Structure 1
Amino acid sequence: MIPTLRAPISAVLLAAFSLSATAEVCVTDDRDREVCLDQSAERIVALSPGATELIWAAGAGDAVVGVVSYSDYPEEAKSVTSVGSHTRVDMEKLLSLKPDLVIAWATGNPKEQTDRLQELGQTLYFTEPRDFDTIASNIERLATLAGTEKAGNERAQTFRAGVDELRERYSDAPPVPVFYQVWDEPLMTINGEHFIHEVVELCGGENVFADLDRLVPRIDRESVLAADPEAIIAGGMGEENRDWLTAWEEYESLTATSRDNLFFVPPSTIQRPTPRLLEGGKTMCKKLEQARDRR
């Protein structure tokens, strides 16, 4: 009789629900590795300030139990246990936190330490965003691992929309040759594969060192003088410290100097591959508009 089928059907539905609730969650990280968890991550350690911002953007800040130094955004991250710096992790402290997911910086964390963490059975997700799309997809992938897809997907879409808006606004802007200074001693810049280069292009700028081979190449002052950029943009040692630009003021023959186009952008908004890159991008775009007005 039909009523006798109710119990088996209920049992099947319950079993199916149980399986879906504990189903394996898998994504591909920025090293093209498949990263799988038996269930959504509940204890997460982020091994770079950028990774910290990304996991918060993914809506999983409540699950973060460990960060590294300079993880200062959002404000809540400052109160999370530190496991050292991105260049030297305190392995004992990290392991004591019993994370079920470690977000590593592919080119920033010591390889011997990330290799050791994997040997010890830790699940690592490597992040290395090089462009706007990868920043957005990292938010979505991390949200998948943390079970916060709705919040993460919404944040990623908001970021993409903001980038599109800036791209449309400055699509016809006259180009401005730009030197972006990443570091002072040694003097360093970015090539055409770096995410900061994409911000420069978004604002209608032209990266004068785009063709160099290394992602973050070392250069000398003579190279900058020869390139004669119309604008120089720098971060600095701190969110309000524009001292790196002071040295360029003595080179009066530089177009950037003679036109007072020495611009500061707070480094945390432009040098971390996170949604705040949109904030840094808006600042940079405004600076390049000033440069155009001074022609």
Structure 2
Amino acid sequence: MYRGKIFVLFSTVICLAICLDGLDAGIVRAADFPVTLTDATGKHITMKQAPERIVSMIPSNTEILFALGLNASIVGVTDYCDFPKEAKRKPKIGDLMTFSLERIIGAKPDLVLATKENPGEVIRGLIELGITVFVLNPQTVTGVFEATTTVGRLTGRNSEADVLVNDFQYRLKQVSERLDTIPDDKRVSIFIGNPKFPSQWSPGPGTFTSDIIAHAGGRNIAGDITSGTWGVYSLEQIVSKDPNVILATSDGNHMETVAREILSAAAGMAGWRDLSAIKRKRVYVVTGDWIMRPGPRVILGVEQVARMLYPEFFVEE
């Protein structure tokens, strides 16, 4: 099956960086430093040498660091950093919004990788203490590729970043080429949500998740939500748009069972049962982190969603 090929390809490229516990085989060249790069806030950050102690303030940054083989250099992560499994064993510095400055300072980082979602006062406090903070903010699939390249340059893992990004770009192109014959008005319309939930929070245009859907050949029906945000979509709005597919998320376990449970529940609910997606049993469940966490597994999200929407284009040859 094509899905199996996805995992084989992904493992071939990055398992040495992301799966081998503690292995840190990258080659850092002194000639790569000093390096000055501009972060997401517009600040010019200079690294005089490769960082040896790195703190990550969001799970997506943590995944990038591990994918680049920097396990041994990571000295602090958030409570939500859960992939790969080694991340769970790293010292914790707080959640996404509440951080312990004492723990971050105690980790003695020479680089902190933050995001625009982190509290500004925490970032400013770290900078005032003389700690180097670099803010990343990828909001698109290609933005993740660019962030990976940036982190590679900041840490002296240029070659590793190039290998990853080249693979991501190749695989994204493979999906695009399979789907580029589909006219825009024939592309599958999607609602991202779950009928079993009391409120339907869904991503609007300009969000990371919507960009993944677009790369996978889908059309997000929630185009009237404020750009760059998630919003509540009413059942009336969903019914009026009548999506071809309902796309829900899970933790990646028992997804087919979860999809069947959602379909069964929706078939007995007023409004939902009249949708084309429910009548045609096109309810799919995707691994949530793959389409909502802007890290290296984004390419798996694009491939997984594309295969769900257009299985006829991904039949094993």
TM superposition score normalised by structure 2: 0.78
- For 2:129, the equivalent position in structure 1 comes to 120
The answer to whether the aligner puts 1:172 opposite 2:181 as a matched pair is yes
Which of 217, 221, 229 matches 1:216? 229
Instruction: Tell me the secondary structure at the aligned position of residue 112 of structure 1.
Output: helix
Question: 1:217 & 1:223 partners in 2: Cα distance?
Answer: 15
What is residue 225 of structure 1 aligned with on the other side? 239
Task: Show the counterpart of 1:25.
Answer: 35
Offset at residue 245 of structure 1 (A): 3.8
Name the counterpart of 1:142.
151
Confirm whether residue 102 of structure 1 aligns to residue 112 of structure 2. Answer: yes
| Corresponding position of 1:17 | none
Deviation, structure 1 residue 228: 1.3
Specify the SS of the correspondent of 2:166.
helix
* CA deviation after TM superposition for structure 1 residue 164, in Å: 1.0
Give the residue type in structure 1 aligned to 2:295.
T
CA shift, 1:120, in A, is 1.9
Q: Deviations over 1:48-77 (max 9, x none)?
A: 111101122233232111111221212221
Look up the match of 2:80: 70
Amino acid aligned to 2:103: K
Shift of the alpha carbon at 1:150?
A: 0.8
| Structure 2 CA distance for aligned equivalents of residues 147 and 59 of structure 1 | 11
Partner of 2:91: 81
Residues 16-49 of structure 1, C-alpha deviations (whole Å, 9 max, x = no match): xxxx669422112223321212211111111111
* In 2: Cα distance, 1:291 partner to 1:191 partner: 28
- Residue 59 of structure 2 is aligned with which of 6, 28, 49? 49
SS of aligned partner of 2:147: helix
Secondary structure of the equivalent of 1:126?
Answer: strand
Q: CA deviation at 1:188?
A: 1.5
Note if contact 1:47-1:102 (Cα within 8 Å) is conserved in structure 2: yes
Counterpart-to-counterpart distance in 2, 1:113 and 1:94: 10
Q: Aligned equivalents of 1:148 and 1:78: distance in 2?
A: 23
Task: Mark the runs of 5 or more structure 1 residues left unpaired by the alignment.
Answer: 1-19
State the Cα distance separating 1:182 from its structure 2 match.
Answer: 8.8
Other-structure match for 2:142: 133
SS at match of 2:231: coil
Q: Which residue number corresponds to residue 268 of structure 1?
A: 289
Identify if the C-alpha distance between structure 1 residues 222 and 120 changes in structure 2 by more than 3 Å, giving closer, same or farther: farther
1:219-268: CA deviations, max 9, x gaps?
Answer: 223222222111011114x3337489465442211111111111100111
Q: Which has the higher contact order (CA 8 A, sep 6+)?
A: 2
Distance in structure 1 (CA, Å) of the matches to 2:42 and 2:239: 40
Structure 2 residue aligned with 1:196: 209
Q: TM-score, normalised by structure 1?
A: 0.84
**Aligned to 2:68, which of 50, 55, 58?**
58
Provide structure 2 residue ranges, at least 5 long, that are not aligned to the other structure.
1-29
Kindly name which structure, 1 or 2, has the bigger radius of gyration based on alpha carbons: 1
Look up the match of 2:8: none
Conserved? CA contact 2:205–2:229, under 8 Å: no
In 1: Cα distance, 2:299 partner to 2:168 partner? 7
Q: Which of residues 266, 270, 280 is equivalent to 2:301?
A: 280
CA distance in 2, matches of 1:182, 1:25: 46
Task: Let me know the Cα RMSD of the aligned residues.
Answer: 2.4
Count of matched residue pairs: 271
Identity percentage over the alignment? 25
